[in-house]
Amino acid sequence: MKSDYSNIYSFNKKTLTKTLRYLNKGEIAGLPTETVYGLAGNAYSSKAVKKIFGLKKRPKKNPLIIHYYNINSIKKDVIISKNFVKLYKKFCPGPLTFILKKSKNSKIVKKATAGLKTIAIRFPSHKIIRSILKYSNFPLAMPSANISTRLSPVNAIDVFEDFGKKINIIIDGGKSKIGIESTVIDLTGKPKILRPGVLGYHDFKKILKVNSFKKSKLIKSPGMLEKHYSPGIPIILNKNPKNKSDAHVIFGNKFKGKKNKFNLSKKANLNEAASNLYKTLRDIKNKGYKKIYVSKIPNTGAGTAINDRLRKAAK
Ligand code: AMP
Ligand code: MG
């Protein structure tokens, strides 16, 4: 049976208004960003935040990232620090999430930050989410638009696969360019990378002293679940399959293209590989493969983020 995708809309003035109307009422929208698609709700509305946790089946201890238009819009909710301003100037809007101290009079719903005194904020760069943020009078709580532990969505149809008509509106903004979640950097003490992304230690080290992801691995972000990003079939890392009926995820040009081979980047470009990761795992699952083998991927730059996601998907 053909799916009825009638809650997926392209973006224009009319659907911008429609989206804002839903968000104003405390309803949820599936929206594109440059990293992955998000499940967005008004971060000042407890109705909206409750819905997000419910739809995703997300554990209550796992706080949400709050999305803003720019630095002027965060002042009521967040205590701004010098390190934050330095990184903001260089990388925002973009795929970087900051953990900062929450201000006393912050209007952010407590459940959204899992009751913590800190808050995770991001300024996404995708032009659709930027116009929605520009015209809304509130920030958006917006985790990835997938059911907890499953693969993150990089297309409007991926969002539909998990939520169907349970959300009123999904905006189609094309494939997410970056394709994996933002880097999370904790600035509440000595800067630490809590979750690797396409931006990393090498991008930050000229600007401030920061611990690499490996060094700060022990200090986990609350709710950073171990099992995550799973396509729902077993993944075996750093091995080639013996069987042609198993899918083989590869990187670079040293493998000859056979039917069961899925190349993340023929040019051996790690950013390109990151942007293809979830799409590839989803394709493999949808083609009916029962097992995925993944060849070794270099652990530098965006490779650190790819390997982090694969390790969690293989749990
Ligand atoms: P996602 O599930 O993709 O929305 O990822 C959000 C990530 O940010 C999760 O791993 C959270 O644990 C992390 N996070 C959100 N808020 C905070 C916070 N206040 N302190 C530390 N980590 C946070
Ligand atoms: Mg997620």
Residue 216 has what pLDDT? Answer: 55
Dihedral sign (CA 67, 71, 76, 78): positive
1 has a pLDDT exceeding 80: no
133 has a pLDDT exceeding 90: yes
Distance, CA 62 to ligand 1 centroid (Å)? Answer: 6
| Averaged confidence pLDDT in the chain | 94
Position with higher pLDDT, 199 vs 221: 199
Angle at Cα 274 formed by Cα 301 and Cα 163, nearest 5°? 140
CA–CA distances in Å: residue 153 to residues 143, 175, 192, 262, 276: 11, 9, 27, 18, 11
Closest CA to 277 of 173, 161, 152: 152
Using the atom order of ligand 1, give the atom closest to the CA of residue 152.
3
Distance, CA 197 to ligand 1 centroid (Å)? Answer: 13
> Which two three-digit tokens encode residue 146?
């997938």
Closest CA to 280 of 156, 163, 180: 180
Cα 22 to Cα 15: distance, rounded to the nearest angstrom: 10
pLDDT tens figures, 157-216: 999 999 999 999 999 999 999 999 999 999 999 999 999 999 999 999 999 988 776 655
Distance, CA 243 to ligand 2 centroid (Å)? Answer: 32
Q: Are 311 and 237 in contact (CB under 8 A)?
A: yes
CATH 3.90.870.10 in the chain is located at 8-204
- Which residues form ligand 1's pocket by a CB distance below 6 Å? 62-65, 99, 113, 116, 118-120, 143-144, 181, 184, 194-195, 221-224
Residue 144: DSSP 8-state = B
- The pick from 36, 118, 217, 221 for probing ligand 1's pocket by mutation, whose C-beta has the most ligand atoms within 8 angstroms, reads 221
Average pLDDT over residues 118-144: 98
Instruction: Give the fold, CATH level 3, of 8-204.
Output: DHBP synthase (3.90.870)
Using 50, 70 and 90 to split pLDDT, how confident is the model at 220? low
Using the atom order of ligand 1, give the atom closest to the CA of residue 102.
19
pTM, two decimal places: 0.95
- What is the number of the ligand closest to the CA of 185? 1
